[in-house]
Amino acid sequence: MTAQFGPSALATPANLLTVTRLVLTVPLLAMILRDGATWSALVLWIVLCVTDVVDGHLARRHGTTRSGAFLDPLADKVLVLGGLVALVANDMVPALPVVLIAVRELGVQALRSYWGKRGLAIPATNLAKAKTFAQEIAVGFALAPPTAERTVLVAGLLWIAVAMTLVSGYQYVQAGSRLTTTAGSR
């Protein structure tokens, strides 16, 4: 029998995994800043990215929570944006695509908070989930020693992630605007 958790639960297996991902992101970022592209950084990156899938599975199996709905995207953003910023700091990727991704992520988070205070929730689209995966792949290629020096490949993957990020951000704004219009101002 699988334990079920209510929406207000805090101590769930999914939340434990998400918090662990957040905590382990710190040494990963230090490793990237110190050593750049290494096999150990790549392996830890992959493990942390896979835990996002696992905690999502656990949340669906045991029951989603409001805390998980907040923590999971936060952990994703800290991991991906932190990884991208560390790569920029080491001159491993260009800054412009990272700035574009960061502005979109922070803007959508601000809108999510604004709409959430009005009782409106906009679920993540398939494109939004795919853009996170594309961002993770771009960082992974930048961290992999065999591909880290292939700057055209890494930059190309990063720009694909930027395009997906910006389009999914536009979709999110559109969905929020439609929902606000149909729900009325609250």
Which tens digit of pLDDT belongs to each residue from 27-44? 999 999 999 999 999 999
> Any idea how long the chain is?
186
Those residues with Cβ within 8 angstroms of residue 49's Cβ, 6 or more apart along the chain or in another chain = 79, 136, 140
The phi, psi pair for 145, rounded to 5°, reads: -50, -40
Tens-digit pLDDT profile for residues 95-132? 999 999 999 999 998 888 888 788 877 777 899 989 99
Mean pLDDT over the full length of the chain: 88
Q: What residue ranges define each of the domains in the chain, with the CATH number in brackets?
A: 13-183 (1.20.120.1760)
pTM of the model: 0.87
What is the rounded distance in angstroms from the CA atom of residue 155 to the CA atom of residue 44? 22
Q: Which two tokens stand for residue 126?
A: 């398939």
Least confident stretch, 15-24, 55-64, 103-112, 170-179: 55-64
Residue with tokens 């494109």, as numbered in its chain = 127
* 102: three-class secondary structure by DSSP: helix
What is the rounded distance in angstroms from the CA atom of residue 157 to the CA atom of residue 34? 23
* Amino acid symbol at 1: M
